[in-house]
Amino acid sequence: MKKSIFVVFLIMFMVFSAFGAGTSEQAGPPTVAFSPGDMANPSQAFAAKMFQKYGPDYGLNVIILDGKGDAQVQAQTVTNAIAQGVKAIYVNPNDVNAIIPSLQQAKQAGLIVGMFSSDVPAASASVRNFFVGVNDLMAGETAAEAFKAAFPNGAKVIEIGGQAGHDAQIKRHDGFNKGIAGSNITVLEYQATQQWATEQAMAIAEDMITKYGEEIDGIFCHWDNGVTGVANAVEAAHLSKDLFIVGVDGNMAGFQQVRDGIQDVTVMQNFEAQAKKTLELTKTILDGGTVDAINFVPLDVVTLKNIDTFTPPEW
């Protein structure tokens, strides 16, 4: 009895596999896949939503293959995409080095490979057709510019980093350091978080306020939802002066905090524009055209003065 059930399942599996293998050859728009690093990350969930929203505008059917915050799982999503016969795969990598072998396989299988938001190292650039994203180094530099503009006579700031080891955290930190180099902006202390978690940013802000108190003129936090925690810590500390607070993302929280006067600047990365650009490049290649390898989508600097000129974000 058990044997017969096994045989039935085996036959069903073979039949489905046989039909499944032919899916990509069937009529209908070409299928492309987006592999976000982690759908639990609101910004990546929003990017996935944008891909699915705008895919049909470019004649593409978009499927989402979640990397689940794990480099190995994400590498598996790429090989799954190859097996499904998709025309293109876009990856927002959890680990830019660990994803390279699977991208190489995808490229060899004839897929269009696009890096989204984070690029592979320059030495491995041949594994992808193009990169679309914001320059996180530039995000850090933009934050530094905001501090230099607000404090022409110099300031002492705290930097609270995103998830330690994450590509964006490293680049935003490096960009910020590069931006303030040679200026009279001094970083009193830098501390990264274990995850992009609001409560961790808040705990670090509380500890730094305890340590430096009134010495602090401003705080650069790598992400807007972290700024929410930072702002709570600042409010609870009842400092005698307002701190200048800068975040990166330009999400709903960042916009609201800028409107409420809690946050002075949010450096906005536009995921809607990035998704559209990625789809546009894919369409160009599918139509036989050529595209630039590096495609930076400009960052927007949002302040209370210009906030009404931007479309409010949905994430």
Partner 1 sequence: MNKALMKAVKEYLVLLLVLGLVLITAVIEPKFITSGNMTNIMRQFGPLIMVAMGMTFVIIGGYIDLSVAGIMSLVAVVTLSLIDPIGQVGAIFVGLLIGAAAGFLNSLVITRSGAMTQAEGLFISYGMSVLYGGTALLYTGGVTNHLSYIESNYSLFTLIGSGTVGIFSVSFIIFLFLLLILYIFQNFTYTGRAICLTGGNKTAANLTGINVNRTIIIIWTISGFMAGVSSIVLFSRVTTASPVLGKGFELNAILAVVVGGTSLKGGKGSVARTVLGAMLVILLSNSMNLLGVTVYMQNVMKGLLLILAIWLDNLKGRR
Give whole-number Cα distances, 119 to 36, 42, 90, 108, 160, in Å.
13, 20, 11, 19, 23
Interaction between residue 53 and partner 1 (CB under 8 A): no
Interaction between residue 256 and partner 1 (CB under 8 A): yes
Backbone φ and ψ for 193, nearest 5 degrees, come out as: -100, 170
Closest CA to 105 of 126, 79, 128: 79
The residue range among 33-41, 101-109, 119-127, 266-274 that interacts with partner 1, by the rule CB under 8 A, is: 33-41
The residue range among 136-144, 172-180, 250-258, 273-281 that interacts with partner 1, by the rule CB under 8 A, is: 250-258
- CB of residue 176 vs partner 1: minimum separation in angstroms? 17
The residue range among 5-13, 72-80, 121-129, 252-260 that interacts with partner 1, by the rule CB under 8 A, is: 252-260
Cα gap 148→169, rounded to integer Å: 21
- CB of residue 44 vs partner 1: minimum separation in angstroms? 8
Give 30 or 55: the residue with its C-beta nearer to partner 1: 55
Cβ partners under 8 Å of residue 72, min gap 6: 98
- CB of residue 128 vs partner 1: minimum separation in angstroms? 26
Question: Which residues on adjacent β-strands are paired with residue 113?
Answer: 89
Interaction between residue 65 and partner 1 (CB under 8 A): no
**Residue 66 corresponds to which tokens in the numbers above?**
């979640």
Cα gap 233→203, rounded to integer Å: 8
- CB of residue 29 vs partner 1: minimum separation in angstroms? 25
Give 104 or 195: the residue with its C-beta nearer to partner 1: 195
Give 39 or 293: the residue with its C-beta nearer to partner 1: 39
Cα gap 264→95, rounded to integer Å: 32
The residue range among 43-51, 121-129, 148-156, 280-288 that interacts with partner 1, by the rule CB under 8 A, is: 43-51
Kind plus residue range of the DSSP H or E element containing 217: none
Give 39 or 137: the residue with its C-beta nearer to partner 1: 39
Cα gap 116→99, rounded to integer Å: 13
Interaction between residue 207 and partner 1 (CB under 8 A): yes
The residue range among 85-93, 145-153, 224-232, 269-277 that interacts with partner 1, by the rule CB under 8 A, is: 224-232
Give 46 or 51: the residue with its C-beta nearer to partner 1: 46
Cα gap 181→290, rounded to integer Å: 38
CB 155 within 8 A of CB 217: yes
Cα gap 29→94, rounded to integer Å: 29
Q: Which of 253, 265, 281, 299 binds partner 1 (CB under 8 A)?
A: 253
Interaction between residue 239 and partner 1 (CB under 8 A): no
- CB of residue 236 vs partner 1: minimum separation in angstroms? 6
Please, which of residues 157-196 interact with partner 1 by CB under 8 A? 164-165, 189, 191-195
Please, which of residues 102-161 interact with partner 1 by CB under 8 A? none
Backbone φ and ψ for 150, nearest 5 degrees, come out as: -75, -30
Q: Please give, one letter per residue, the 3-state secondary structure of 120-180.
A: CCHHHHHHCCEEEECCHHHHHHHHHHHHHHHCCCCEEEEEEEEECCCHHHHHHHHHHHHHH
Residues that bind partner 1 (CB under 8 A): 39-42, 44-46, 49, 164-165, 189, 191-195, 197-199, 202-204, 206-211, 225, 228-229, 232, 235-237, 252-253, 256, 260, 314-315
